[in-house]
């Protein structure tokens, strides 16, 4: 009988269950044995359903699609050439040591990825702070969830993408989905919203585009990009004016209502209609639907979060939930749809510039003492908080002279990408560990080929806070090592023979100890327990927080904490905190020279910077290249027809792609997907203006103009 290994999709934060079945013997010079994806209908999140990315994920395991041996650049400006692992690791160790000795530990940066397993994220954070002694570490997950994380941490005292399982969504009465398009970004999740409607519930979608998700909604609100904050404040104003505040809940379980109420009342309905462009009757209807239901939820995604006021925007939507008593109760609450595969776990265990494992704060003396004790180093030896992701990238070639990068492709995915590419090129030394030769890896001095999801065992944490075990199903090619083995080899060369094991379970056991007692407590989770939970039951996975229980204890703690805040919030006094915020313009508003809004996002067949999905034939056939979505009225003014090359121009540069003319977007807005490099790179034009709290760049809105282009668009 063919062997089937239960595992999980390598892409988005749903972490859909799938099986990998061998279809033949190992390929002599290839990547393990040929495998095919089989459904796992008993896994509760996706019940066997997979999108095209999940179905085709094994294609990236093939030899022609991925790296199979180290590459080094033996002279400045020379080509990348094949090398042994010893030579490659020696070069990385020398490059990092040379810069550190000449310029100090903070001249060495570390940049991680939201697709790294919990074990890799933990080991990378430890390596940066213990071996390199640098504060300069962050990861691309900063571009994903940081605004929602900051707002949730302030309001509730804890950030977990969803404080309840997805299974609760179809059982509530009304969901407001803000800036999310799961029909294209995480298709297996769409059934939760269709089931909501089948059960008599209501779906409200807030998005400047009429997306595939918005087409399913009972009510679609299409605000101008960058005005979600005004919309949320205006809805709260109507809640107060209509006498719909749940005063008993506000009095018993919250703090700060008076200030938040005053801020909302300054946003009267007619003003909000004028700012957002959403007709007032539709705003009133949204409030009625949300408040009339017995239970309701607000779910946000990158739309409101990737703004220079993203933390305040998410906080305003949380305020709406708190004022109406739609938080801390069954089938009600606020949640954020995490995007990257392990975006949740990646920020819990040490990749973020200001955090230690267990979601502890790096500037907390007790947190430093606990983690330093686990690591066997003095607390005072740990560096303080460093730069956030974009600020770190912007410092490359200046204060930061060398960079170790794992699992990210910032020359495509970062805002103001041409500038970021220039900074990467100016480094004294760059080492990249990745599965494929990404656009960033092509610029490296050393490229280290690492194992993929199907070739290694490790844990990830889904958007529900569900910790899952991904099992090794096939062997990697002979010339490929795991990221943990890379860190093990580098640590040894830099004087740390112990403390960086290459075995994932051994790393996880240390992670458990480091997280114990922290907000994201994994101490009660083990590989054995996770393996038992993968038996297909509704209890698959373990939800954090999951503290270590006394021997022989049983009961609900066996699956961790699926639902948070039902008894109290995680703040010191147990009360949720309102955030008083006022609407303010985006960092860059349209003007005579740049009269339009640009917003960016994803398409169904590609993922993030496209470094992996662009290597899959079926996905490329479905989405072969970038495009510019524009309204027919705008297209007519330009004299542009469907397929004509058009240039989107901002103060930072220009991107050229074929026009896609559709009435499903506002006339004052254009849209570009961000999966491609080259002439059609959307992030060439996006704005790196940062949220003052989360340090999230403003990907979702900037001022542009659109022109007919004399250059042929890239297909």
Supply the DSSP string of 607-649, one letter for each residue: -TT-TTGGG-HHHHHHS-S--EEE-HHHHHHHT--TT-EEEEE
Percentage of the chain surpassing pLDDT 70?
96
Q: What angle do CA 659, 674, 463 make, to 5 degrees?
A: 135
Q: Residue 359, by phi and psi: left (phi above 0), alpha (psi -120 to 50) or beta? A: left
Q: Note the pLDDT of residue 714.
A: 54
Two structure tokens written together for 336: 């954020």
Q: Note the pLDDT of residue 696.
A: 97
Helix (H, G, I), strand (E, B) or coil at 31: coil
Q: Note the pLDDT of residue 552.
A: 53
**CATH number of the domain located at residue range(s) 4-65 in this protein:** 2.20.25
Helix (H, G, I), strand (E, B) or coil at 97: helix
- What does the alpha-carbon distance between residue 178 and residue 155 come to, in Å, rounded to a whole number? 18
- What does the alpha-carbon distance between residue 235 and residue 265 come to, in Å, rounded to a whole number? 10
Q: Note the pLDDT of residue 583.
A: 96
Q: Where in the chain is the domain with CATH 3.40.228.10?
A: 147-339
Q: Note the pLDDT of residue 1.
A: 46
Positive or negative torsion for Cα 653, 659, 665, 668: positive
- Mean pLDDT, to the nearest integer, of 10-19? 94
Q: Note the pLDDT of residue 29.
A: 57
- Residue 556 pLDDT level (bands cut at 50, 70, 90): very low
Pick one of 2.60.40.10, 2.40.40.20, 2.160.10.10, 1.10.10.10 as the CATH number of 596-708: 2.40.40.20
Determine which helix (DSSP H) or strand (DSSP E) holds 522, and give its type and residue range. none
- Residue 32 pLDDT level (bands cut at 50, 70, 90): low
Q: Which residues pair with 458 in a beta bridge?
A: 470
CB-based contacts of 112: which residues, under 8 Å, 6+ apart? 120, 121, 124, 125, 137, 138, 139, 140, 141, 346, 351, 405, 406, 407, 408
Contact 583, 566 (CB under 8 A): no
Q: What are 319-330's pLDDT values in tens digits? A: 999 999 999 999
Radius of gyration, CA atoms only, the chain:
24
Q: What are 249-288's pLDDT values in tens digits? A: 999 999 999 999 999 999 999 999 999 999 999 999 999 9
Please provide the distance, in angstroms rounded to a whole number, between the alpha carbons at the two ends of the chain: 44
Q: Note the pLDDT of residue 516.
A: 97
- Largest Cα–Cα distance of the chain, in whole Å? 73
**Average pLDDT value over all residues in the chain:** 94
Helix (H, G, I), strand (E, B) or coil at 82: strand
Two structure tokens written together for 26: 């190992």
- What does the alpha-carbon distance between residue 596 and residue 587 come to, in Å, rounded to a whole number? 14
- Residue 555 pLDDT level (bands cut at 50, 70, 90): very low
Contact 581, 233 (CB under 8 A): yes
Two structure tokens written together for 312: 């305040």
- Residue 347 pLDDT level (bands cut at 50, 70, 90): confident
Mean pLDDT is lowest, of 7-16, 18-27, 197-206, 398-407, for: 18-27
- Residue 368 pLDDT level (bands cut at 50, 70, 90): very high
Q: Note the pLDDT of residue 30.
A: 52
Residue 278: cis peptide before it, omega within 30 degrees of 0: no
- What does the alpha-carbon distance between residue 433 and residue 426 come to, in Å, rounded to a whole number? 19
Positive or negative torsion for Cα 622, 628, 633, 638: negative
CATH architecture of 71-141+342-502: 3-Layer(aba) Sandwich (3.40)
Q: Where in the chain is the domain with CATH 2.20.25?
A: 4-65
Q: What is the DSSP letter of 43?
A: S
CATH architecture of 147-339: 3-Layer(aba) Sandwich (3.40)
- Mean pLDDT, to the nearest integer, of 450-454? 95
Q: Note the pLDDT of residue 233.
A: 98
CA atoms within 13 A on the CB side of 467: 32
Helix (H, G, I), strand (E, B) or coil at 347: helix
- What does the alpha-carbon distance between residue 338 and residue 300 come to, in Å, rounded to a whole number? 9
Q: Where in the chain is the domain with CATH 2.40.40.20?
A: 596-708
Q: Note the pLDDT of residue 322.
A: 98
């Amino acid at each position: 009988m063919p062997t089937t290994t239960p595992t999980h999709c390598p892409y988005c934060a749903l972490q859909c269950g799938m099986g990998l079945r061998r279809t033949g013997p190992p390929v002599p010079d290839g990547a393990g044995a040929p495998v095919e994806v089989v459904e796992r209908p008993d896994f509760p999140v996706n019940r066997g359903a997979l999108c095209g990315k999940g179905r085709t994920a094994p294609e990236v395991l093939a030899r022609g699609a991925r790296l199979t041996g180290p590459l080094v650049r033996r002279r400045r400006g020379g080509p990348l050439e094949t090398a042994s692992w010893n030579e490659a690791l020696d070069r990385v160790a020398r490059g990092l040591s040379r810069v550190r000795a000449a310029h100090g530990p903070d001249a060495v940066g570390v940049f991680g990825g939201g697709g790294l397993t919990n074990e890799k994220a933990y080991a990378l954070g430890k390596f940066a702070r213990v071996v390199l002694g640098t504060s300069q570490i962050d990861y691309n997950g900063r571009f994903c969830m940081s605004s929602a994380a900051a707002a949730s941490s302030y309001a509730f005292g804890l950030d977990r993408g969803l404080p309840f399982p997805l299974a609760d969504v179809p059982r509530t009465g009304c969901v407001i989905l803000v800036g999310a398009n799961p029909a294209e970004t995480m298709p297996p999740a769409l059934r939760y919203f269709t089931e909501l409607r089948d059960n008599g519930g209501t779906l409200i979608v807030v998005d400047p585009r009429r997306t595939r998700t918005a087409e399913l909604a009972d009510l679609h609100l299409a605000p101008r990009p960058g005005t979600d904050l005004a919309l949320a404040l205006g809805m709260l104003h109507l809640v107060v004016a209509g006498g719909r505040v749940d005063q008993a809940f506000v009095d018993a379980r919250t703090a700060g209502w008076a200030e938040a109420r005053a801020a909302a009342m300054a946003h009267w309905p007619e003003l909000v209609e004028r700012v957002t462009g959403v007709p007032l009757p539709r705003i009133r209807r949204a409030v009625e639907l949300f408040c009339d239901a017995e239970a309701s939820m607000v779910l946000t995604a990158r739309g409101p979060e990737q703004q220079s006021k993203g933390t305040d925007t998410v906080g305003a939507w949380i305020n709406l939930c708190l004022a109406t008593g739609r938080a801390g109760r069954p089938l009600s609450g606020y949640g954020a749809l995490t995007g990257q595969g392990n975006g949740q776990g990646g920020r819990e265990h040490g990749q973020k510039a200001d955090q230690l494992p267990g979601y502890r704060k790096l500037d907390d003396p007790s947190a430093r003492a606990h983690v330093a004790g686990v690591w066997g180093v003095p607390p005072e030896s740990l560096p303080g908080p460093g730069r956030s992701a974009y600020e770190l990238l912007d410092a490359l070639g200046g204060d930061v002279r060398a960079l170790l990068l794992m699992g990210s492709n910032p020359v495509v995915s970062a805002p103001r990408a041409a500038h970021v590419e220039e900074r990467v090129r100016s480094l004294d030394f760059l080492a990249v560990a990745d599965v494929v030769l990404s656009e960033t890896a092509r610029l490296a001095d050393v490229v280290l080929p690492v194992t993929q999801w199907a070739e290694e065992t490790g844990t990830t944490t889904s958007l529900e806070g569900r910790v899952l075990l991904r099992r090794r199903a096939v062997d990697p090619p002979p010339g490929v090592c795991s990221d943990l083995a890379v860190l093990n080899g580098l640590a040894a060369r830099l004087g740390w023979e112990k403390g960086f094991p290459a075995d994932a379970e051994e790393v996880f056991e240390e992670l458990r100890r480091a997280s114990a007692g922290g907000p994201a407590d994994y101490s009660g989770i083990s590989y054995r327990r996770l393996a038992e939970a993968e038996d297909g039951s509704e209890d698959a996975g373990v939800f954090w927080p999951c503290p270590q229980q006394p021997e022989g204890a049983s009961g609900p703690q066996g699956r961790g904490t699926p639902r948070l805040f039902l008894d109290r919030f995680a703040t010191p006094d147990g009360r949720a905190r309102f955030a008083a915020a006022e609407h303010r313009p985006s960092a860059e508003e349209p003007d005579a020279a740049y009269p339009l809004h640009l917003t960016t996002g994803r398409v169904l067949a590609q993922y993030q910077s496209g470094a992996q999905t662009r290597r899959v034939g079926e996905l490329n056939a479905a989405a072969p290249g970038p495009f510019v979505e524009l309204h027919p009225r705008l297209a007519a003014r330009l004299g542009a027809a469907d397929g004509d090359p058009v240039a989107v121009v901002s103060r930072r540069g220009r991107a050229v792609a074929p026009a896609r003319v559709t009435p499903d977007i506002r006339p004052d807005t254009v849209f570009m997907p961000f999966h491609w490099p080259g002439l059609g790179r959307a992030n060439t034009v996006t704005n790196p203006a940062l949220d003052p709290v989360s340090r999230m760049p403003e990907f979702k809105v900037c001022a542009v103009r659109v022109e007919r282009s004399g250059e042929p668009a890239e297909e």
